[in-house]
Every structure is written in structure tokens, then in C-alpha cells.
Structure 1
Amino acid sequence: MATKGLSLLLAVFLVHLAGIYLYTRGFLLTRLSLPDITTCPDGECTLVPSHKRAVVLVIDALRFDFLSPHPPEPPSPYHHNVLVLPQELTASQPSRSFLFEMFSDPPTTTLQRLKGITTGSLPTFIDMGSNFGGSSITEDSFIGQLRAAGKKIAFMGDDTWTTVFPDSFEPNMTFPYDSFNVEDLHTVDEGVIEHLFPLLEDKAAGWDVLIGHFLGVDHVGHRVGPDHPTMKAKLTQMDDVLRRVVDKLDDDTLLILMGDHGMDRKGDHGGDGDLETSAALWVYSKGPQLVHPGASIPSFLLMTRVFPGATVEHRHIQQIDLAPTLSLALGLPIPFNNLGTVIPELFWHDKAGRDYTRALSLNAVQVKRYLDTYHDSASGAELDKAWGELERIWASIDFEFRTHAADVEAQWLAMKMYTRDALAVCRMLWAQFNLGLMVLGLTLLVTGTVAAALLYFKLRALEAGWQEWTLAARRWYLSSAVGGAFLGFVAYMTVSRYVKGLDLVESLLFGGAGMLSLVIIASSLPQFSGLRPSSLTSIPLPLILHAAAFASNSFTVWEDRVVTYLLITSIVPNILVGFTAPTARLRQRILGFSTLFAVCVRLMAMSTVCREEQQPFCHVTFFASSSLPSPPMPILALSIPIALALPWIMRRFLRISRSDRGTATLVLVGLLPAVLFLGSAFWVLEHWDSSEQFGPEWVGVLRSTRTWYARLAVGLVLFFGYALWWLVPLCLEISTESKQDEGKREVTVIGFANAFGAPYLVFWSLFLGLLYAATQLTGQVVLALVAVAIMAHLEVVDSVRDVRGLEAVFASGNPSAVLQADELRAPVMPLCFSEITPLAILAVHVFFTTGHQAVIPSIQWKTAFVLTPTLAYPISPLLVILNTFGPHFLVALAVPLLALWNVPPLPQPQADVKARVDAIRAGLSVMLYHGTLLLSSAVCAAWLRRHLMVWKIFAPRFMLAAVTVVVVDVAVLFGVGVGVGRVSERVSRLFAAMNPDKAKSS
């Protein structure tokens, strides 16, 4: 029977998956990468090198203000004016030393920034995902040009370089280190230092370019934030390294120090905030002067800006400008796909700037060649709108040699304008969309949402006859999916050439999922037309407001606050029922538990993280501060007591129905307290370890201890908790009493009234224990409040249903025939959509209050190392996914409880059938809610695809909605298929073995 119901949920899930796939294929396209390589055997497309060799040092996450002589006010004692050698040499040797701020295009992840630095090309939004599994760079690059010229490259540090350039470095001079172990602050840096200086000192080493990539600054930022003594110690170490490098540098070697990106106030990166896109660049020549002492570079060639919080302007460039600059400075051709512009300061070797003129002209010609090739490619039509203006600027460039200063400056201005306009056009171009695939995806999302809504009403109307209808519907669904896929294949063979990007897979998916959703709609329409009007009014206003909010960038930015008010609003109908309840007990229960739910929601809302657009009106409370990613002290003090108190609170709720017996006792008294304690203890030890409160000699002990705490917590849940629940799921105590005078035996079942709900709550609490270990301390407190809020809502819904049942009884005209003789118990009423709405919104609320936002920097990378001290696939990525989307899964997994809570298992088998179909309807409801949010975010993102904030706000929110729908759908399938299925099976077997007429509930 569970399989029958799961087929309905699975059909909706498959339509969601197909719609998401097609829409994202159209909305998040990757950039067209041209395979061409710049070649110039005669040397006409490059310059005479100014230096024979180069040392390129990358300090990961080196933000500009870490080097700036004029940092923001007030300066931080931990990261300002600590790494001071660059500013000292720039002040004392202004013709040999230059300090720049670089704009690093988002996404600000290491792999994408290395692509930009070496190729001069731009990333796309979807590229961000490849940062943790990057493939080799096949485009023309600075590294590739070095190899083509026969140069030898030495490398040490972040192994991302060897991943993207696997065969480019000299084997005997290559020393890669693991790049993603943010727990380790020193190994990579010490390894770079160990191999860097012997190569600098060995004059016979034979390298032409030496690359060293330090990771300590980035890891310190991720772990403790920039405002921490550890950051000062790390920057001091980098300053010492630089001084030693400069001391050993040859006169004919160019030194380049850079950051690949910046970091935000709490040390994270990945997004497009000002602090994340700000990277430092320092260029130093110990020998030849870079700028002629008597030269004056025109101001229109030197872009400047004021760093956030500072007061003095500084030199500002694009990070992709490094590709053409380094290539020409070392006598190499510019990479073919480059869109950067050469940096004037590295080519102003005489007063007239002749080398710069030559460099800029080579740069402009290369960009022109690239655009011409792109325009002639399959994607070239996308350039048509801007092509006329680009050609006009190109025609204005005079490449003849000029001596008059005004003519030369006009020449520089025209060439720079062409390269910068080309960059601006391509930045807009690669926010490109395939409208055909987007329309197909939206079509499936619309039909899928309508199908889920009609299926919800269908199941409500069918009631007892749902099993027979489901058997027939399952055959219809399978046949329609296969038939639709065949039609999709026919369409692919006939009309696919008219739809850009429509491949065979897309055609099959759209045909199969589209026909499936249409059959669901068609099979549900007849019954839908017979529904009473009151059934339609159960769709709540919060869903409409929530979905409409995605049309506004400001509402989307402040969704974490909006959701709080929607969540409180969603329980207002229950409160109104509480005021009019027919008995004092029901009034007290409804109003009391509603108040408890609202208090939990408001306490959860106190936990906040801020996205950049919310500043300065947002205050971080999830962490100790916006720059310290450690727990607040009250949370640190309360975490262990809350972990121990939560199982006791859950058992108190079960005690209301006397269902705190059997498995509930074993799990809530023994297993769960231990699991939650170990989960909290892990993060307490992690805080002590990160802050080094016991000194560095304790680091190894704390790391080992907390790792085994987490492993024990997860192991107890996976290998003991779920096994125990599967074998003995019921929370009942059964006793028998023989009555000798009557010759009969009386069976007493304690926990009878909640025989379905209590064991499912235990099943749900096991996943709570699993998620607890992967959640930081403030998030753990939020999860505890979520558990209390869910149980309070269950009691409210149970009481509201009693009120509705009593009203139905008294409205029948013959209440005495309906009510049982020994107790005032009304018939169990069906679920309403408005009863599921609070839990659907609660899932979104929990996502925000556990320290997340719809932006990349809010990802909590620390959780990757909960079970292992180093990066381990697939465990580390799975832990990050669990931390990020586990809250959605947790709340969605609780939704079937609304159908099972305090539902007595008699009469059998009708009670079992009703419990399952109500659980399926509850799951379908939450899938419908989140599916509607997905549809709204997709429509708004498509409609506003040319909005200035599309990649900053609307695209991330759509991606969050898409993943949320998948997570929620899987949670519902898991909960109904495993949780409800197992509980119903065991309850049916138990009561089938008993004589129901002789059973006495307690």
C-alpha cells in the first residue's frame, strides 16, 4: 500500500526534476570557450622581455587592505599594517614598486580566479561549482604560452594549479599540497617555504617562472576570521617570507605578489561583495626600473577608487589584466581568449611611453581577433547588438606611429576604450540565456504545480476509494511517461533544429514529464470540479505573499525577516479557533501551544547572518561578531544543557498521550541525549581548538578527541538508532490481565491513542541527531527550538481538529449517536492545507536561522571536517550538503506527523489506510508549497533576467529554491515510504494479532 501512494509522490518529484533540469540548462549557460591559441613565430605579436624570469607568489584571500598603507578607519590591529614590506618599498622605490587593488570577478573561488589570472577570460555563474572538482584548463593561457616557448615552470603550494595545469610544471620542481583542508593553517605554507628558498638560492635550478601559492591566510579567515591574533601571526610570517624573497631576488627577476580574491568580514568568500572581490597586487623589480623616473602617465590611463571605509584613493585594476601584462613583460604572446588590458606601469620604460604604445596596440589587436573569431562562431549572434559600436571604436584607432603628444594620447584613449568596452560587452554577453529551454522548463514547473494541487484535492475527495484509483493511476502515469518520451524523440528528430540547445535528453525529458503532468491533471479534473467551494479557501494567504515576494529584489534580500512574519501569520487561524473552542481545555491547549510555537519562532529569529545587501541594517548574532566565526558566549554556555534537555522535553510531549514507552524510552532516555551531547561537545572543543585557549600543544589532542566524538554520534544514529527503530519501532506498553470470574483476558495497551505518531517522532528524532553534529552551536540551539515548535504545532493541530470534529458532531443534529459513551471524542477530521503551511514556512525559517543565506559566502565550510581532520570524498561534501540543506529535510520529514499525531489505530484496517493516505496528502502539500515557491522564483528570474541584480540576487535564490524542492521531495518520499510505511505495517500486525474488542486503550 505504501508503494501505491509513493507512486503519486514520485510522479510529482520526477516532474519537478525535469522542470528544474530544463530551466537551469537554459538559465545558467556556460561561456563558449574558443580553442584557438595565439602564435607568432616571428615575434611580431609580443615585446622584448623586460625581465628574464619571474617569481609569482599567491597569498590566497589576500585582500587589498591587508597591504594598503591607507587601510579603513579604524584600522584593525590584526590585519592592517602587518604585512608592510610592499608599502615600504613602494614608498622608497616608486619607480620599481607598485601596489594595486585588483577587482576579481565573481564567483570569488580559487579555481575561477586562477582561470581569470592565467587566461584573461571571464567566468560564468555556473562555473563556481567546479571549484571543488576542477578539470584542466584547455583555453590558451599564460602557463600554456610559457610551455610553448620552452620555459620551465617551478611550482609549490595549492594543488589546484596542478589540477588545472596537469602537465605544465617541471616534475622535479613541483610540490603540490592539499588545498581544501581549512583546519590546517600551516602545512601548505611551510611546504612552500621549504621548497621556495632552495630554488631561489640555486643558480643552476633552471627555472624561468617560479609559482608559490600560500593558503594560510585563507584558512585562518575561514576558521577564525580576519580579526583574530592568528591572522596577525600569519601575516607576520608572510611579511618575513617576502623580506627573504626580496633579499635573494636576482636583478633580472620580476616579483609579483597577489591575492586570488579577498574575504568578507568573517573570513569567507565566493560571492561578489566588495571585500570578496578586492584582491591585492604588488609588483617589484629589483633591477630594471619599471617606470622611467621622468615619465608622467596620463590620469585617464590610471583608474583609482577608495576602498570601503578608507579615505585615500588608490590604484585600481581588473584582475584579468594580469594575463596580457605578464605575457608581454616576459616576451610571450597574449592568450587568445584574453579580455584584460595591459597595466601601464609595467611598460613605461621611457618618457614617451613607446613600449606602452606597442603593448597596448598588441593588446587591442588580440582582443579584436578574439571578438572576430567569437562573432563568426556558433554563438556569435549574441554580439550583434553591440557589434556596431565596437566596430565604430575600432575604426577610430590609428595604429600609425605618432610623435605629437596629443595624438599619442588620443591613440591610447581609443585603444583602451576598445578593450574596456569589449570587456563590458562580454560581461553582459555571458549573462546569456536560452529562452527555448527556459520556456520548456517553466512549462513543466507550471504543469507540475497544477498537477500537485489537483492531486491534493483528488486524494481528499476520494477518501476510502483512493487505493483502487491509485492502482489505475499508476498504470496511466507509467504509460504516459513512456508515450511522452516517445513523442519527445519524434520531436527531436523533426523540430529540434529550430530550438537552440534542444538535445535528445532534453526532448525525452520534456516529452515524458510533460505528458505525465498532463495525465495527472486530466485524471484529477473530474473530481476537482465536484469539490465544495470551501475546499478552495484552504489555500493560505502566506503562500501567495511568499511567492509574490520574489518579484522584488528588496523582499528577496530581506526574505529571512519576511519569513518570520509570514510564519507567525500562518498560525493566526488556529488562534482564532482557540478563542471560540467549545471547552476550556481545548481553548487552553490551542492558545498555550500556539504561544509556545510563536515564542520558539521569535527566539529562532534572533539568530541571524547578514548578506552584503542588508548592511548596515543587519547585525550578526549567529556568530560572536561579523568578523569572528565563533559562537557567542551565551550559546557556548547553553549548548550542552540544551542538548541534554531537548530529549526530556520531547518525552514530556509524548507523555501527554502516554506514548513515551517502548522504543521512545530507549531512544529519548538513552540514545538521543548521548548523540546530542557528543554533537555539542564536538563544536565546543572545536571552539577551544580554534581559539587555542589551552595552547598549541593541545591542538592535536583536541582535534583527535572531537573527531571521535562526532564519529561516535553519527555511528550511534546510523548503526544503532535506525537498526533499533527498524526492529522495534512501536512506543507501546502492553499488559494482559486474566479475569477468572469471567474466564476472559483483558489486554491493556498504553500509548494506544498515539500509536502511529510516537514511533514516527522517534524516527524523526534520529535524523535530528544526525543533523545536530553537522550544525554549529548556534544552529544546534535553533534546531532544539525547531523540535519544540514542531511538537507544539502538532498539539495545536490535534486540538483544532478536535474542535472541528465536535462542531461537525453537534451540527449533525444527533450528537449522542456519534459521540462515544465513555469519553468526549469527535471523529478524526481530514488535514487542511493551512495546517501544513506553518511547517512549510518553518523549513525556510530554519534555513536562515541556522546561519545560511541565499548567497555563496554563507556556506559553512567548517562542517566538511566534522568526521575527518582532512578533506575526504565523499564524506566532506556530504557533510556540507547536510549542514546547508539538512534543516529543510528535517522539517519536511516531520510533515507526516500531522497526519499521524494522536490518531488511534482503530478500527483496523481503516485506521491504517487513513493514516497512510493522510500522510501522503500531507507530504504532497509541502511539496506543493515549495514547488510553488520554485515556480515563482523561476518566473521572476526569467522575467528579470536582464535586471542589474539577476546574478547577485535572483539567480542564487532560484538555485536555492530548486535544491530545496529536491531536498523536500526526497524527505517526503523517505518519510512516507520508510517511516510511515514501517510504522503502519507494525501497528497493523500488532492489532491484527489482538482482538480489538478486548483491547483497552490507556
Structure 2
Amino acid sequence: MPTKGLSLLLWVFFVHLAGIYLYTRGFLLTRLALSDINTCDDGSCKLPPTHKRAVVLVIDALRFDFLSPHPPEPPSPYHHNVLRLPQELTAANPTHSFLFEMFSDPPTTTLQRLKGITTGSLPTFIDMGSNFGGSSISEDSFIGQLQAAGKKIAFMGDDTWTTVFPDSFEPNMTFPYDSFNVEDLHTVDEGVIEHLFPLLRDQSAPWDVLIGHFLGVDHVGHRLGPDHPTMKTKQEQMDRVLRQVVGLLDDDTLLVLLGDHGMDRKGDHGGDSDHETSAALWIYSKGRQLLHPKAAIPPHLLTTRTFPGASVENRHIQQIDLAPTLSLLLGLPVPFNNLGTIIPELFWHDKSGRDYARALTLNTQQIKRYLDTYRNSASGGELDGAWDDLERIWQTVNFQATPKEQSAQWLAMTAYTRQALSVCRMLWAQFNVSLITLGLVLLVTGTVASVLLYLKLGTLQESWESWSAEVKRWYVTSMFSGALLGFVGYITLSRYVKGVGLVDALLFGSALASSLVVIVSARPSFSVTSIRSLTSVPLPLILHALAFASNSFTVWEDRVVTYLLITSIVPSVLIGLAAPTSRLRYRILGFSALFAGCVRLMAASTVCREEQQPFCHVTFFASSSLPSPPPSVLALSVPVALALPWIVKRFLKTSQSDKGTASIVLPLILPGTLLMGTAYWVLEHLDSSEALDPEWTGTLRFVRTLCARVAFSGVLFLGYALWWLVTLCLKISTDTRTDSAAPDRPRREVTVLGFANAYGAPYAVFWCLFLGLVYPATQLTGQLVLALATIAVLAHLEVVDSVRDVRGLEAVFASGNPSAILQQDGLQPSNVPLRFSEITPLALLAMHAFFATGHQAAIPSIQWKAAFVLTPTLTYPLSPLLVTLNTLGPHFLIALAAPLLALWNVAPLPQPTADVRVRLDAVRASLGMMLYHAALLLSSAVCSAWLRRHLMVWKIFAPRFMLSALTVVVVDLAVLFGVSVGVGRISERVSKLFAAMNPR
């Protein structure tokens, strides 16, 4: 049955969820998408088409330097000057072929980029999440305009298109393929090729626009990185495809080749680094020229930039410029929500630029109509701060300009469209201050209530359960009362407070009222114990929380955490130096050294944020551009998987608690699980590095999937089932002895091995089984980090146990009657109260393990490979769960260890007092872990709100807040799972054991 006190932790979890929900609703807004459609039956908002047909080819993750004739120095032999046709035709036919670098707005995920390409609108930060479950586009788009004009669209490739445009393509010319199977490098591309060329060869095929979306380049990047021979092979294939396509084009067909986004140095994307936001665009017209040979385009209309590492400037545009450009070239109206500006080179059909002037006029008028409509919408107030500037620029636009005034007129219209884009980029970083404030109020009151609750439980002894039951009645009642007050507040104040809904008001009222009740109920009595607990709040937490006020400290948080983690054990070392016995001194100093050594070795594993360059070097992977494990990691992975269970068993053996369930799980189940998890990633490396012949690919995929499934099944269906049935790690033997004084009355003696760690050992096994779930979802370098983290946790437990012995001895000798106390109670660690400073190293270790397993508070660090551990294709809900386990598993794992601070090396005597005390300390340890991460969440939320106009808010502060929010949820779930299942089951079994041994 669940441990008493669980309801307190559940209430804290509820307040955290309520605060996070309200804050994120205010901080991470989605923009208002207007449903208006740009129509003009009289043809006044469109131009005569330059081409009858268009072929639009998307090569996913086609970074600009993959096509550039002037790549960065030194060029890579694997992805530079490989896909050569665009640069060759641009050099040979400068009026028919154009090569551009496009800026793709973050988040650089395929779904959001397709929205931008087809609608010309901007995404918002939170939109990235819909990349896994995108819905159809409700805005006006290039695709919608084609449909409205009666055009027929053929499609083949990435099925994201059919998700966002479910009814837009011709049924008999639509061939979608699964887009998330990143391990499959060829199926989608071969499918596109299979259906593309028959349609191009058949001159009578009834299509007007043909869209093909290749995925191979993107998948090679994710799986192998851009600097891999397979990338060269894939780009060579794309080059051959383009040459065939160009050969089959007729003179009335426009060819558009583009990348939806770029990729970073190791092949991933999603963030806003230069490499991720850089995408290539090539436009080619085989027949009609696009640019007049004698065109004199004013330089101020042509934006250029230099690609990172290159020495020659290139033509630079916004990716959303493609929407108005393609629409007008094909004789369609510009999509209503478009914020892009037409590309001048494609409309300069005569020397004077008459067609360009007409196209830019239509483009500018469309953006003006959009802004006017948005201004009159429910969200129109968001434009208040920028409207005067926009109107001022608009007044400079003169649509009746004379030929001499044309250049100034073009400049004015371009200035208006670009200012509109700039304003809207800032606009959709707007915030609902009301909801942010409500969320912050809950986070503050919830944190204060948690602190007081932690202190209050520290002053209670055996009476803590009765007090918990009493306060439970009060905060449960207040939750319903607060919800009622929230409803009344919503009815009376909704007209004055914008953006706050009924659910928001109910949640706020319920959480706030219950927090205030807990604050009043747990108010401190200012006893010596409570004051000591209050003053023992560690400096590392304060420094860690304050770090989020600085973008530099936030960027380098992985190094900050390493420093704070080493610092957090200094108090234990000082106690060890002054320990009263040599045994305790050696134990404290020895295990502290072991802990520090594990922390430093974990810190050797790094991945780098873009902002850390050039002062950071990737060691988690073989190199910054090769996402495979380093050779040393490959060599150590199997020995570590086999050695780790033996090391855990050695820690338990010191207390003779390696019996019972530990004697089965540690030598049998856990080694097999870890070895299977390691085997999966070793085989994945052999497959992705093409170390074996291609015919082995299917076999390797089958075998490694089988290894992963065996690993997970072994833990879930064998390990935890065994632990539930045989929970305790005890060996009980009975011996009958005859007393010489009374030979007719034999005496029965019961020997219990593992008695001194009766609570801690079974929970350690329980914890190790969850390690067996995280291990296979973690890449090889991360597995070594998890092994070091496991040893660090056990070393910290031994340090805490020895420090409590020191404190216990000090308290005994300070009592004035040590012999009587030792004779009556002995030296029980359960008699020494838990301190928050003992929780701090574990909380910091969780953050340290997160960074060391190859993660950062940045989107590109997500390791998408984990999604395919159990299945070769994207499978819901397994794939998202595996990515979550890979990313946040270290947080869950270390937080799950918090109750061990209360259970380790605690003997279950005297009963039932020891059991009550153990459960109290387990709840306090769990609450302390929740409190540490809640404090980080509060700091991150305050800093993000305060710095919401900071230049780096979406690049640094918002992702760090999201990580804090997810971490709090995961940590709360971990301790709830540990207390309810782990501690509850162990307490129940220990109680039954003593009841059986003492039937009276």
C-alpha cells in the first residue's frame, strides 16, 4: 500500500503543474492565424503567369553550402561541390538560373518550415511541438491558391505534406512515405524517383504543379552526420536526379529546388544556429529567361551575406519570400497571411523593371491588407507599439510614382514589407502578462509552502502521520473552496483581465488557496531544530538559481553544475577530516574522493551549444560532425555493462544485504539487461558506419531490435515482477540449540543476514531495475556516464551514512550520559535528522548526468535516434516515450534515488518507531528533491519573464525554462513513484516480517 504522506507530495505536484500551466500559457503563445483568403476575380491582385507548370523539389535539410560554388574553407569532400548541377547551370545561364541562400525561421523543423514556405507566415516558439502531430493548415497558402484556381497538384515523398494539406493533391498522383524513419536512408528517395520520372516523361499527364520531397540527405545527417561517405553518395544520387529532371523539362515548366532548413555540424536541426537556419534555393527556367540581360537592379534591393567559414558573399533572402514569388510567377494571388517579399531577380523581365514594380505593388498591398485585418482582430492590440512606425513608412509609399521616382518607390515598398516582417517577428514573441503573473504567484507560494512543509516535517517525530492527515483535510477542502473563488473572480473580472479563461481561474484559485492553507498550517515554531534546518540551505542551490539571471552562465550551465557539484561535498570532507575514529575518517574521505572522481569523469563527456564555440570540444561523439561513439567508448562499453552490477553488489555486500532478490537481480537480470542495451548501440554503430557489407543491414536491424526488446522485457516482466514478489534482500536461517542448563528445553535462534540495511538494499535493487530501463535508451557514451552516476550515488550514500554516524557520536557524547544512550538505543542513523545539504549533491548530480549524457538546454541536442530503439519505424507512443526516456531519464533516475537517503543502512529496529521514522525521512528526502528543482524552475521563470525582451530570450532563456518545467514534472513523478511503490512496498514487507517473527 502507498506510504502515508504521499498525499503531501501529490499536492506539491498539483501546485507545480498548475503554476507551469499558467506560466507557459502566458509565456509561450501561439499566434493568431487569420482565415481570410486572398481572392480577386477581376485579376487585380495577380500577374500573368510566366510558366504553365512548376516542378518543386524539396531536398530535406539541404544547407546552402551544399550547393554553393564558394563553400567554407577548407571544403568537406563529403558534402561540398558534390551536388554540382545548380552551380554549373547558374554559371552557364545567369538569366535562367539563380542560386540563393534562404534564412529559414526557427524552429527549423520540417512541418513549421513547410508552413512558412507555403503561407509566407511565421511560426512561434511553441509551434515546434506540433512537428510530431501536425494538423492541417487553415491559413491561405500557395497550395490553397492552386486549388482555388483549378490547378492539379501531384505529390510524392515526405508524408508531412499530406498531413498539413490532406485534401489538396490529386488522389491518383499522390504517393506519401513515412517521414520519421531516420534509419531508412533510401526508401523515400527511391519512392519519389519511382513516381517522379513517369509523370515528367508523360507530356499528357494532368498535373500543373509537381511536388517531390526527398528525405535521404536529412536522414544521413541525423544518423551519420554530414562528414560521412554516405552523405557524398546521397548527394551524388540527388545530382543525378536533378540532371535527369532538367533533361525532361519543357520550356514552359519552372524548376524550383529548395531545402526546408539546414543542419548543424553533427547533422541535426530544430534550433536557430546559422547552419540550421541556412537553406538553399535554386530556381531554373529552361525556356523563358527570368532576368533581362541588361537589367540594372538597384543594389539596395539585393541583400547579401557570407556563409560561416566562406570568403565570398552570396545572395541572401528570407525563406518566406518564396510564397509570394511563386504565387505571382504562376499567376496566383499572394496568400493572405504572407509576410514575405518577392525576389527581384525573378520579375525583372525588361530593362525598366516594369513587371517587378507591378509585382512589388501587389505584394505590398497584400501585406498592408493583412496588417489592417490583424489590427482589427481580437489580437490587434498587439500592434499598438509598432503601428505608428508602420503607418509612417506607409505614407512614404507612392503608387503613382514617375519613372524617375521608381527607385525611391521600390525602396519605400521594400522598407514597408521588411518592417512589417520585423514587427511581426517581435509581435509573436508577445506575452500574456496576466497569465505569467498568475503562474509566478503559484510558483512562489508553492515553493514557500514546500519549504515550510519540509521544515515542519523535520520538527515532527512519530506524530507526523497524524499531522499530515489533519492538514490534508484542510488543503483538500481549500482546493475546492479556492476553485469556487476562482470561478467568482472569473465572472466578475474577466472583462478587465485579458487572456484569462475559466480553467485558468479555477486552477489558480484552487492552487493558491491550498498553498496559503499549507503555509499557515506549517508555519515554523522557530525551535532550535527548525532554525538549524533553515540555515542549512546550501549555497549551491542559491548560486545555481541565480545563474539563470545571466545568459552567459545559462549557456555554460554544464560547467557551472560541475563546479557546484564538487563544491557541495566540501562540508562532508571537512566533517571527515575531524571524524572521531579513523574508520569513519577513511570512509568519508575515501567515498568523497570516489564521488568526486566519478563527477570529473562524467564531465569529460560533453556536447556543445552553438554559443559555446570555439571554447568547447565535443567528446560525447567521435567528433562534432560525426555522431558516432569515440573508439575508447566502444572498447569500454561491454566491460562496463558487465562490471557495474558487480560493483553494486559489492556495495551491498558490506552490509551482508546482497541476499534475497539482490542475489538474483544483480548477478543475472541486470547484467543481461545492460549487456543487451550495449549490444543494441554497438550493432547500431556497425550498421550506420557501414563496417559490414550492405546485405547485413536487415540482419543487424533485426538483431539489435531484438536486443533492445529483450532488455526492456527483462526489466519490466521479470525484474520488477521478481522484486514485487520477493522484495527484501535478507537471508533468514533458523538454528536450534540446546542449553546445558536446560537440556530439555532447546532454544531456537534466528539469524537474519542483511538486517542492517533491510530498507536500503531492496530499494537499491528497485532503483537499479529502472537503471536497466534508461540504459538501453541511452547511447554508448551516455551509458558510461550512467554507470559513473550509479557509482557516484552509492558513494554519496556511504558518505551520508558515515557523516550521520559522526553526528550521532557527537550528539551521544554531548548528552553527558553516552553509555546509557548507546546501551538503550545504539547508534542508529535514523536518529540523526535528514539535512537538505545531503539532498543537494543528488539534485546536482541529476543535472550533471543530463549534460554528460549528451544533452543541453537547446533543441538540437535531442537525440532522435532513441526513437527507433524498440522499432525500426516511428511508432506511437513508443518512439516519443523513448526520446523522453533518453532525454529526461537521468533526471528521473537520480530523483528516484532520493528516498535512499532515508533508507540506506537503516536497521528496522525498534519497530514500529523505526518504520515511522524511515517513512518520514523518505517523504522529506523526496520533498527536498522536488524543492530543489522547483527553486530552479522559479528562478528560470522569473528570469525569463524579467528578460523577456532580451535579445536571447528565445535562444537561451525560453529553452532553459522549458527544460526546468519538464524536469520538475519528471522529478515529481519519480519521487511519487519511488515513495508510493518502492518505499511503500518495502515498509509493508518489513512490517509483515516482524509480525511473523513476533506473533505476539
TM-score by length of 1: 0.98
Partners of 2:3 and 2:919 within 8 A in 1: no
Counterpart in 2 of 1:467?
465
Residue in structure 2 matching 1:989, options 979, 992, 996:
992
Counterpart in 2 of 1:123?
123
**1:403 Cα deviation from its structure 2 partner:** 2.1
Q: Which moved more, 1:527-536 or 1:980-989?
A: 527-536
Q: Distance in 2 between matches of 1:287 and 1:800?
A: 83
| 1:292-321: CA deviation from partner (whole Å, max 9, x where unpaired) | 111121111110000000000000000000
| 1:663-682: CA deviation from partner (whole Å, max 9, x where unpaired) | 00100001000000000000
| 1:937-994: CA deviation from partner (whole Å, max 9, x where unpaired) | 0000000000000000000000000000000000000000000000111011001211
Residue in structure 2 matching 1:581, options 573, 579, 592:
579
Partners of 2:8 and 2:472 within 8 A in 1: yes
Counterpart of 2:173, as a letter, is: M
Q: Distance in 2 between matches of 1:824 and 1:904?
A: 11
| 1:59-86: CA deviation from partner (whole Å, max 9, x where unpaired) | 0000000000000000000000000000
Q: Distance in 2 between matches of 1:314 and 1:12?
A: 55
| 1:416-450: CA deviation from partner (whole Å, max 9, x where unpaired) | 00000000011011101000000000000000000
1:282 alignment partner, SS class = strand
**1:530 Cα deviation from its structure 2 partner:** 7.1
Partners of 2:657 and 2:755 within 8 A in 1: yes
Q: Distance in 1 between matches of 2:440 and 2:530?
A: 30
**In the alignment, does 2:792 pair up with 1:789?**
yes
| 1:383-434: CA deviation from partner (whole Å, max 9, x where unpaired) | 1111111111111111115222xx1100110000000000001101110100
Residue in structure 1 matching 2:769, options 766, 771, 795:
766
**1:884 Cα deviation from its structure 2 partner:** 0.5
Q: Distance in 1 between matches of 2:147 and 2:600?
A: 60
Partners of 1:38 and 1:336 within 8 A in 2: yes
Counterpart in 2 of 1:547?
545
**1:822 Cα deviation from its structure 2 partner:** 12
Counterpart in 1 of 2:712?
714
Counterpart of 1:726, as a letter, is: W
**1:602 Cα deviation from its structure 2 partner:** 0.3
| 1:85-141: CA deviation from partner (whole Å, max 9, x where unpaired) | 000000000000000000000000000000000000000001000001000000000
**1:563 Cα deviation from its structure 2 partner:** 0.2
Pairing 1:557-572 to 2, within 5 Å after superposition: 557-572=555-570
Q: Which moved more, 1:653-662 or 1:739-748?
A: 739-748
Partners of 1:819 and 1:825 within 8 A in 2: no
| 1:705-748: CA deviation from partner (whole Å, max 9, x where unpaired) | 00000000000000010000000010000111111225221100
Q: Distance in 1 between matches of 2:537 and 2:877?
A: 41
Partners of 2:755 and 2:907 within 8 A in 1: yes
**1:537 Cα deviation from its structure 2 partner:** 1.4
Counterpart of 1:330, as a letter, is: L
Judged with a 3 Å threshold, the aligned counterparts in structure 2 of structure 1 residues 826 and 280 are, in CA distance, closer, same or farther, namely: closer
Counterpart of 1:672, as a letter, is: L
Pairing 1:222-621 to 2, within 5 Å after superposition: 222-404=222-404, 407-527=405-525, 531-621=529-619
Counterpart of 2:171, as a letter, is: P
Pairing 1:190-229 to 2, within 5 Å after superposition: 190-229=190-229
Counterpart in 1 of 2:170?
170
Q: Which moved more, 1:377-386 or 1:791-800?
A: 377-386
Counterpart of 2:955, as a letter, is: K
Partners of 2:179 and 2:215 within 8 A in 1: yes
**In the alignment, does 2:933 pair up with 1:930?**
yes
Q: Distance in 2 between matches of 1:236 and 1:377?
A: 50
**In the alignment, does 2:909 pair up with 1:909?**
no
Partners of 2:830 and 2:914 within 8 A in 1: no
Partners of 1:806 and 1:826 within 8 A in 2: no
Q: Distance in 1 between matches of 2:980 and 2:360?
A: 65
**1:935 Cα deviation from its structure 2 partner:** 0.2
| 1:786-844: CA deviation from partner (whole Å, max 9, x where unpaired) | 00000000000000000000000000001110113998767731110000000011111
Q: Distance in 2 between matches of 1:665 and 1:883?
A: 28
Q: Distance in 1 between matches of 2:393 and 2:265?
A: 41
Partners of 1:454 and 1:528 within 8 A in 2: no
Q: Which moved more, 1:729-738 or 1:532-541?
A: 532-541
Counterpart in 1 of 2:63?
63
Counterpart of 1:978, as a letter, is: V
Q: Which moved more, 1:525-534 or 1:585-594?
A: 525-534
Counterpart of 1:120, as a letter, is: G
| 1:683-724: CA deviation from partner (whole Å, max 9, x where unpaired) | 000000001111101100000000000000000000010000
Counterpart in 1 of 2:817?
814
| 1:520-559: CA deviation from partner (whole Å, max 9, x where unpaired) | 1110015457755322111000000000000000000000
Counterpart of 1:858, as a letter, is: S
Q: Which moved more, 1:69-78 or 1:813-822?
A: 813-822
| 1:444-463: CA deviation from partner (whole Å, max 9, x where unpaired) | 00000001000000101011
Counterpart of 1:284, as a letter, is: Y
| 1:732-767: CA deviation from partner (whole Å, max 9, x where unpaired) | 001111112252211000000000000000000000
Residue in structure 1 matching 2:697, options 693, 696, 699:
699
Counterpart in 1 of 2:875?
872
Partners of 1:739 and 1:745 within 8 A in 2: yes
Counterpart in 2 of 1:885?
888
Q: Distance in 1 between matches of 2:195 and 2:830?
A: 78
Percentage identity across paired residues of the two chains: 77
Unaligned runs of 5+ in 1: 998-1002
Q: Distance in 2 between matches of 1:680 and 1:996?
A: 48
Q: Distance in 1 between matches of 2:646 and 2:478?
A: 50
Partners of 1:571 and 1:594 within 8 A in 2: yes
**1:2 Cα deviation from its structure 2 partner:** 3.8
Partners of 1:2 and 1:916 within 8 A in 2: no
Q: Distance in 2 between matches of 1:27 and 1:321?
A: 28
Partners of 1:819 and 1:826 within 8 A in 2: no
Q: Which moved more, 1:810-819 or 1:488-497?
A: 488-497
Q: Distance in 1 between matches of 2:912 and 2:724?
A: 22
1:498 alignment partner, SS class = coil
1:740 alignment partner, SS class = strand
Judged with a 3 Å threshold, the aligned counterparts in structure 2 of structure 1 residues 358 and 826 are, in CA distance, closer, same or farther, namely: closer
Partners of 2:828 and 2:906 within 8 A in 1: no
1:781 alignment partner, SS class = helix
Pairing 1:124-203 to 2, within 5 Å after superposition: 124-203=124-203
| 1:462-508: CA deviation from partner (whole Å, max 9, x where unpaired) | 11110111111111121010111111111111112211111111011
Counterpart of 1:754, as a letter, is: N
Q: Distance in 1 between matches of 2:868 and 2:285?
A: 41
Unaligned runs of 5+ in 2: none
1:820 alignment partner, SS class = helix
Counterpart of 1:228, as a letter, is: H
Counterpart in 2 of 1:1000?
none
Judged with a 3 Å threshold, the aligned counterparts in structure 2 of structure 1 residues 745 and 973 are, in CA distance, closer, same or farther, namely: same
- Tell me how many residue pairs correspond in the alignment: 995
Q: Distance in 2 between matches of 1:991 and 1:465?
A: 22
Partners of 2:63 and 2:278 within 8 A in 1: yes
Counterpart of 2:374, as a letter, is: Y
1:966 alignment partner, SS class = helix
